[in-house]
Structure 1
Amino acid sequence: MKRIATALLLLALAGCGTIGLKKPEVSLSNIEPGSSTLFEQNFAVTLRVANPNPVPLNASGVDFELLLGGEKLGAGSSNQPVAIPSRGEGTVTLQVHTSLAAWIRQLGNWQQLPGGKLNYEIRGKLHDLSGVADLPFDSKGEWQLPKR
């Protein structure tokens, strides 16, 4: 009986590798300041996730890091479920925690931006996708800072 169960498990895992899910397209939708202390700042980061696959993406959580202007601003993690419909999109709002040093470095960079445009990169993983595996993502783009 154990051999049959092991064979079925191996067959299922092999099948998952051939499904060939495409990486989701992730873009930065918004950054809002949150609570802060002397040593740590928090931001609510909203990501837009587009699913190019013919099946929904259901994950048990997400980990990511956010780089602005080529420098790491911070990282975030959530164990909240993420559900993106097949060939659809949705938004996910996560908390990013930064250190005082990273924030001061970024603030100096932002003041020198031509036209208020900021290059960003988001790297991370959707965890336990449909209970099977993690799905990595990596996205680059440009974000327009809000006008004052």
Structure 2
Amino acid sequence: MSKLIQPFALLILIFLLIACSNLPLKPATPKISLADFRLLNLGLLEQNYRLRLRLNNPNPFPLPITQFNYQVRINEQEFTQGKNNQAITIPALGEQFLDIDVTSNLMRLMGQWQDWKTLLNRQFRYQLVGGVNVVDWAPQLPFDYQGEVALFWGGSQTNEKP
């Protein structure tokens, strides 16, 4: 009787392994950092910026993102927040850039500086918090990254920290 059970048990094990191989893998959260921070328009009450985000995919498969929610904090104060519905796909083990135009009021942060020249040539600590929605994956993948960025007319350089 045991000779009949062994092939049957092996067959059941093979079917279970095949069934489990079709289950979706939980994607790892992409690493999101601030690649560029441009001041587009300088006004007294509000300013326009273009944030260029670098999205790195640690997964061995492409990551199709349908929605991106974010909050940007500068020097531990809220700078801007929002949602981007631009669908993008980050290649497997690759990176993709996403440009987001935002409006904010940097005057709230200006209390610690004497003039605009000091403000425009200073390193800022930033924190980028939010989540991404991935196709065929129900829960949002949260992220929280920080680094430093310098604000310049026409572009900047950033230093990332996980």
Pairwise same-fold verdict (TM > 0.5): yes
RMSD: 3.1
In 1, Cα distance between equivalents of 2:136 and 2:99: 22
- For 1:1-148, list aligned pairs within 5 A: 15-16=23-24, 19-34=25-40, 39-98=45-104, 100=105, 103-109=106-112, 111=118, 116-127=122-133, 129-133=134-138, 134-146=140-152
Q: Helix, strand or coil: the match of 1:60?
A: strand
Identical amino acids, percent of aligned pairs? 29
Cα deviation per residue 1:113-147 (whole Å; 9 max; x = unaligned)? 9x8322110011112x1232222211111223449
Q: Helix, strand or coil: the match of 1:105?
A: helix
Matched letter for residue 78 of structure 1: N
TM-score, length of structure 2 as denominator length: 0.66
CA contact (8 A) 1:76 1:94 kept: no
Q: Helix, strand or coil: the match of 1:20?
A: coil
In 1, Cα distance between equivalents of 2:102 and 2:151: 18
Indicate the residue corresponding to 1:6 in structure 2: none
CA contact (8 A) 1:66 1:120 kept: yes
Return closer, same or farther for 1:93/1:109 CA change in 2, 3 Å cut-off.
Answer: farther
In 1, Cα distance between equivalents of 2:92 and 2:112: 38
Indicate the residue corresponding to 2:7 in structure 1: none
Runs of at least 5 residues in structure 2 that lack an aligned partner in the other structure = 1-18, 155-162
In 2, Cα distance between equivalents of 1:58 and 1:82: 6
Runs of at least 5 residues in structure 1 that lack an aligned partner in the other structure = 1-10
Matched letter for residue 97 of structure 2: T
Q: Larger radius of gyration, structure 1 or 2?
A: 2
